[in-house]
Homo-oligomer: A and B are copies of this chain.
Amino acid sequence: MRFIICWELCLLAISPYVAARPGLPGPAARVHSLRHPAQRHDGNGASKHACEPPENVAISAPKRNIFQTLTEQEYADVTAYLHEQKELNLTAIVNSTSWDNVIVTMDVLQPNKTDALVYLDQDGPPPPRFARATLQFNSQEQPYLQEYMVGPLPLSDSTAHYEELNYMFTSGRGRTNVYNADGEAIALFNLEVGKDIKDITQRLLNGTATGAEDDNLLIAGSDPLMHIGDRVYQWNEFYSAHTGEFFSETVLPTSLQFKVDLTGRDPSKWSVVGWYYDGHYWPSTAEFKKGVESLKRTPGPVVDGPWTSTDHAGESLPRDNLYPPVSVQPDGPRFGVDMKENYVEWMDFTFYISNHKDVGMQLHDIRYKGERLVYELGLQEAMAHYASLDPLHANSAYLDTGYGIGTSQWNLVDGFDCPSHATYLNTTFYISETTYVHPNSLCLFEYDTGYPIQRHLTGTYVSATKNIAFIVRAVSTVGNYDYLFEYGFHYDGSITATVRASGYIQGAFWSGDDGYGFHIYDNLSGSMHDHVINFKLDLDIKGRNNSLLKSEFVPKTQVYPWSEGRSINTMQVEHTYITNEDDAKITWSKNGAASYAVVNKDALNKYGEAPGYRIFPNSGSTAYLTVQSSSALGNSINWATHNLYALQHHDTEPKSAYAFNSHDPHNPTVDFNEFFNGESLEQEDIVLTFLIRYFNLGTHHLPNTADLPNTVTTTAMSSIAIAPQNYFAGDVSRRTIHGVRLSFDETSTITEKNIFGTQQPMCMYDLKKAAPDLDTFVGELQIPKFPWNPSGSLQTNPGG
């Protein structure tokens, strides 16, 4: 057993219990039969009957979900097929060493949009179905990943074939060099360093990292690796192991760091080529050992304690012993789910959900009343880019799809992550010849936002409409941080995409580095960083031929016929079309003066306006990366330079990013910039990819004491909305019956009460139904992106 792609899989690979997890529920956990809706009473007395809401509404998708990942059978078939291909020279994972070629991961190859639409819109055949396999070739000096497509599925003797999957990569080939194939050897090398200086770590940090049972330090390395010339380096830092119940390592740095030249595959040629401690640098171990003796300041490590506890702490709050308001669903869910096809129907919205190891939950073919609005909406990549006085954090810039947004979507905490009346779905994925099920890792629910979507008062009546939203949510814990991803659907036809963040920050050691973060605890810096998350939003407005309309409020000084020569200081709205990709890297304008909409100029409404959906910041801030031409990530993150991009659609450009770009960030397999080649955007099929970024402080995350122990979601959030613009004839929220118009006369008597057929449930709701179900949480293992902890984990590696 070995580390394959270690900063992605190392802890997964060493878990003793993932593969053998017994008794996982099948799909559609928490599914119950449809029961009768609650009885209603109109009398004035107390309700007599218990509410008996049904727990699910079963529906059937009109078409197969062609976007969802492979079935168990397909995974098994393709795995077996690949092992039969002798020229690939694959070794089964269980028998493999770090010099064997292996299957790293597998997923469905997303169908070409062109093919998919034939199936979805024209009753044509389903698009050809292929598996996409990522193989790692370790059996030579320079290991590399290569993407393959295998199919068509189901495999048959006559048609099955495989070939390199190259067409969707801007480098021309789905091939990526790998520089950490020997992860286990790297871990052992680092532990040898720990042994070599254990007297120093004992003195400076009150601990050791040697591979021994009683180690109380661990060693974690920078991600990505540093590529300088033809050399490959990694900075490593000693971290205190947590001492209490809380996994708080990312706020327990010690500052002591060493740089390893790990070029090549012969560990005997690897060497320690630099040391750092508390602002000091030594270019060799010898100089370090000498220099560290004469340090005047030896601040010691950050010490774990009650301050890292996420439990209830501090003086209890007044009246907090009472139970807070809680959402109940007296009539059961008002949305339908086809559990087999992951197809969802809420009001007149319908869509498919798929899940993928790298990018997690994705939405497909979102329609309103049968008419497609969105072909595809989903995360492409999530970056966290740090800056620091110390080398490890200065070189930390994570691309989280490499760790796996999908692998990190775990069982949700009922009643806390989602209301207790939520419907839960499972997700599955494949790694190293094993599939994994994450029960209850997506939740779907409606909730009342607590304010009306519409209301108006006049002298004789008042009108108001409830604002009920439908949410699809997943929480992805990528190491120290928990990202709450959700898509929201609203009565007015608008859709929101939101990210919130919680979990532990990744702090750095405080060495007086004012320029990189606040000093937030003894020896701890709230290391500054930018989060930027890239989404793809492929809007189809009344067909595929769309344009990008910019509408900008501009100040004007204007003479009008009626102003009799006088200049009026006023404003106008200027409508222009962005007609070329070269002009379509967009930053939100100063004072939000410009808005952007994808419209269809060939489908003008009766007033001559082009129907469309506009896109705009909804909550928090939607920021792009501060760092310019990042030394850490190079051309891998050219999607992070603006707020919004528009591009012509090509089946050969399906994704802005690639999950393994951070292996070789300066030679990215997908370079988003390559998509921009001056193509027309006039009534083409525009693929809008937009950035949404989750953060604190309105924009960029500058952690302060309020981030301890965990960042809170109240302020660490970012959201984008799309909403109809001249798309419908009027506001479609008028379609709900959950409004009221009350007429009254001069004596304040209600003269008329229009409730449009709303049936208020009059039953007794057993609040046990609203109690969180905390007995079915299916635990999963932790996959820290940081610290990457091969040394600490070797002991529990059954194959190690």
Report whether A448 and B698 are in contact in the complex, using a CB–CB cutoff of 8 Å: no
Report whether B314 and A732 are in contact in the complex, using a CB–CB cutoff of 8 Å: yes
Output the least CB separation between A545 and chain B (Å). Answer: 21
Q: Does residue A757 face the partner (Cβ distance < 8 Å to B)?
A: yes
Report whether A330 and B319 are in contact in the complex, using a CB–CB cutoff of 8 Å: no
Q: Does residue A800 face the partner (Cβ distance < 8 Å to B)?
A: no
Q: Does residue A27 face the partner (Cβ distance < 8 Å to B)?
A: no
Q: Does residue A541 face the partner (Cβ distance < 8 Å to B)?
A: no
Report whether B778 and A626 are in contact in the complex, using a CB–CB cutoff of 8 Å: no
The complex places the Cα of A726 from the Cα of B704 at a distance, in Å, of: 5
Q: Which one of B516, B574, B731 lies within 8 Å of A515 (CB-CB)?
A: B574
Q: Does residue A503 face the partner (Cβ distance < 8 Å to B)?
A: yes
The complex places the Cα of A326 from the Cα of B560 at a distance, in Å, of: 53
Q: Which one of B316, B445, B623, B724 lies within 8 Å of A591 (CB-CB)?
A: B623
| Identity of the chain B residue whose Cβ is nearest the Cβ of A345 in the assembled complex | B318
A767 partner residues in chain B, CB cutoff 8 A: 38, 47, 51, 328, 330, 760-765
Interface residues of A, CB < 8 Å — how many? 239
The complex places the Cα of A618 from the Cα of B718 at a distance, in Å, of: 9
Q: Which one of B320, B555, B623, B709 lies within 8 Å of A730 (CB-CB)?
A: B709
Report whether A456 and B774 are in contact in the complex, using a CB–CB cutoff of 8 Å: no
Q: Produce 1/0 per residue, A546-584, CB < 8 A to B.
A: 000001011110001111101111111111000000000
Output the least CB separation between A649 and chain B (Å). Answer: 25
A573 partner residues in chain B, CB cutoff 8 A: 515-517, 528, 702
A735 partner residues in chain B, CB cutoff 8 A: 312-317, 320
Q: Which one of B554, B567, B618, B697 lies within 8 Å of A616 (CB-CB)?
A: B697
Report whether A710 and B731 are in contact in the complex, using a CB–CB cutoff of 8 Å: yes
Q: Which residues in window 727-749 of A have CB below 8 A to B?
A: 727-742, 744-748
Report whether B454 and A737 are in contact in the complex, using a CB–CB cutoff of 8 Å: no
Output the least CB separation between A604 and chain B (Å). Answer: 10
| Identity of the chain B residue whose Cβ is nearest the Cβ of A257 in the assembled complex | B562
Report whether B413 and A462 are in contact in the complex, using a CB–CB cutoff of 8 Å: yes
Known: A553-B699, A593-B626, A714-B723. Is A445-B314 also a contact (CB below 8 A)?
no
9 pairs across A/B with beta carbons < 8 Å? A47-B768, A310-B739, A312-B737, A394-B568, A417-B451, A419-B448, A445-B450, A455-B475, A459-B782
Q: Does residue A17 face the partner (Cβ distance < 8 Å to B)?
A: yes
Report whether A459 and B781 are in contact in the complex, using a CB–CB cutoff of 8 Å: yes
Known: A313-B735, A562-B259. Is A455-B503 also a contact (CB below 8 A)?
yes
Q: Does residue A322 face the partner (Cβ distance < 8 Å to B)?
A: yes
A475 partner residues in chain B, CB cutoff 8 A: 455, 457
Report whether A325 and B468 are in contact in the complex, using a CB–CB cutoff of 8 Å: yes
User: Which of A119-127, A261-269, A427-435, A605-613 contacts its partner?
Assistant: A605-613
A620 partner residues in chain B, CB cutoff 8 A: 617-619
The complex places the Cα of A494 from the Cα of B712 at a distance, in Å, of: 11
A77 partner residues in chain B, CB cutoff 8 A: none
Known: A520-B607, A731-B706. Is A555-B313 also a contact (CB below 8 A)?
no
Q: Does residue A447 face the partner (Cβ distance < 8 Å to B)?
A: yes
Report whether B561 and A281 are in contact in the complex, using a CB–CB cutoff of 8 Å: yes
Known: A448-B325, A468-B325, A623-B592. Is A753-B766 also a contact (CB below 8 A)?
no
Q: Which residues in window 460-499 of A have CB below 8 A to B?
A: 460-468, 471, 473, 475, 477, 482, 484, 486, 490-494
The complex places the Cα of A772 from the Cα of B779 at a distance, in Å, of: 41
Q: Does residue A387 face the partner (Cβ distance < 8 Å to B)?
A: yes
Report whether A699 and B593 are in contact in the complex, using a CB–CB cutoff of 8 Å: yes
The complex places the Cα of A734 from the Cα of B710 at a distance, in Å, of: 9
Q: Does residue A334 face the partner (Cβ distance < 8 Å to B)?
A: yes
Closest 3 CB pairs of A and B: A616-B698, A592-B699, A744-B779
A770 partner residues in chain B, CB cutoff 8 A: 328
Output the least CB separation between A206 and chain B (Å). Answer: 21
Q: Does residue A142 face the partner (Cβ distance < 8 Å to B)?
A: no
The complex places the Cα of A412 from the Cα of B473 at a distance, in Å, of: 32
The complex places the Cα of A445 from the Cα of B760 at a distance, in Å, of: 21
A410 partner residues in chain B, CB cutoff 8 A: 457, 462
A326 partner residues in chain B, CB cutoff 8 A: 327-328, 330, 448
Other than the given A463-B710, A709-B734, A760-B767, 14 more pairs (CB < 8 A) read A47-B766, A51-B767, A311-B741, A314-B735, A323-B759, A324-B466, A452-B484, A453-B712, A510-B607, A515-B573, A518-B609, A571-B626, A618-B715, A745-B779
The complex places the Cα of A228 from the Cα of B564 at a distance, in Å, of: 11
Q: Does residue A329 face the partner (Cβ distance < 8 Å to B)?
A: yes
The complex places the Cα of A721 from the Cα of B387 at a distance, in Å, of: 26
User: Which of A143-151, A211-219, A628-636 contacts its partner?
Assistant: A628-636
Report whether A311 and B463 are in contact in the complex, using a CB–CB cutoff of 8 Å: yes
Output the least CB separation between A224 and chain B (Å). Answer: 14
Output the least CB separation between A127 and chain B (Å). Answer: 28
